[in-house]
Amino acid sequence: MKTIKSLQEKRNTAILLIFCPDKQGILSTVTEFLNKNNGNIIYLDQHVDREEKIFYMRVEWELEGFAIPSDKIGEYFETLIGSKLQMNWKLYFSDNTPKMALFVSKMPHCLFDILARYTAGEWDVEIPIIISNHEKLKPVAERFGIDFFYFPITKENKADQELKEIKLLKEKKIDFIVLARYMQILSEEFVALFPNKIINIHHSFLPAFAGAKPYHAAHERGVKIIGASSHYVTSDLDAGPIIEQDVTRCSHIDTVQKLIRKGRDLEKFVLSNAVYKHLQRKVLVFNNRTVVFN
């Protein structure tokens, strides 16, 4: 089932994501560089964290008519600006569709939501593979025409299986990973290979109820609101930089089962929103916190 039709207009643009120590004139330096080289800016957002004294910026401009060839932009920018201002920057081209791998276990709701958006052309992404530690969702992958790889995990084979997964991810040139309710903890070694490139959904309003069985814990505590949180995975469980959160009301009439049902909708919504922001290159990470541009 190929994409019905892309809802994304393809644009021929470049995107710069920047952060660096704040000082006067960074913004005008960057915008002047683009203007002088005839780069028509179509998006600009910036933020200064005045406590940490860090300047953050996302700028996107049209490549058509831009004086610097695309394959030289990075070099020129680093030489003329980046190195002088100690910038940490990344350059993306909007015609370069990123490749995403999906990790799932048994619960299908996030998987379905992502594949529906993918098939409907809501996102500019390729999903070459789905990886799972269970076989249950294989039929879903098949019907959407996506290769499904089964890697059962035990304490004993975990290291080996992860090596195979990593090999596969490299072969397929995967850019980032989405854990769509994948109920296995990735090893530190695995995580270290994909810094800020593994997006997880945790079924609570973090930092409340980190770890296992958050809906049971929420019910036990008698909260009046439940939530879901999407974050980049770090070696510290459920403690990585948060990309997106959302909540919904609950009450004494909600059993754990009802919380789980309500939570499913939150989870898929929050995860898909986080993936969308990531795909748009609108997320920067510094100090275990995210800057998410508008």
- Contact residues for a copy of itself, defined by CB under 8 A: 1, 4, 7, 24-25, 27-28, 31-32, 35, 40-42, 44, 46-51, 56, 108-109, 112-113, 116-117, 119-120, 122, 136-137, 139-140, 143-144, 205-209, 221-225, 227, 241-247, 249, 251-253, 255, 261, 264-265, 269, 272, 288-292, 294
At 206, the amino acid letter reads L
In the complex with a copy of itself, the residue whose CB is nearer, 129 or 218, is: 218
9, with CB counted inside 10 A (0-12, 13-18, 19+), is: exposed
Shortest distance, position 273 Cβ to a copy of itself, whole Å = 8
By DSSP bridging, strand 88-93 and strand 13-21 are antiparallel
Q: How many CA atoms lie within 13 A of 177 on its CB side?
A: 28
DSSP state of 68: S
Candidates 113, 175, 238, 254; catalytic one: 238
The nearest distance, CB 170 to a copy of itself, in angstroms, is 30
In the complex, what is the shortest distance from the CB of residue 263 to a copy of itself, in angstroms, rounded to a whole number? 12
Amino acid at 78: E
Q: Which residue lies nearer to a copy of itself by CB, 59 or 174?
A: 59
Q: Let me know if 238 is a catalytic residue.
A: yes
- What's the min distance (Å) between Cβ of 268 and a copy of itself? 9
Residues 6 or more apart in contact with residue 253 via CB below 8 angstroms: none
CA dist 137 and 76 (Å) reads 47
Active site residues: 238
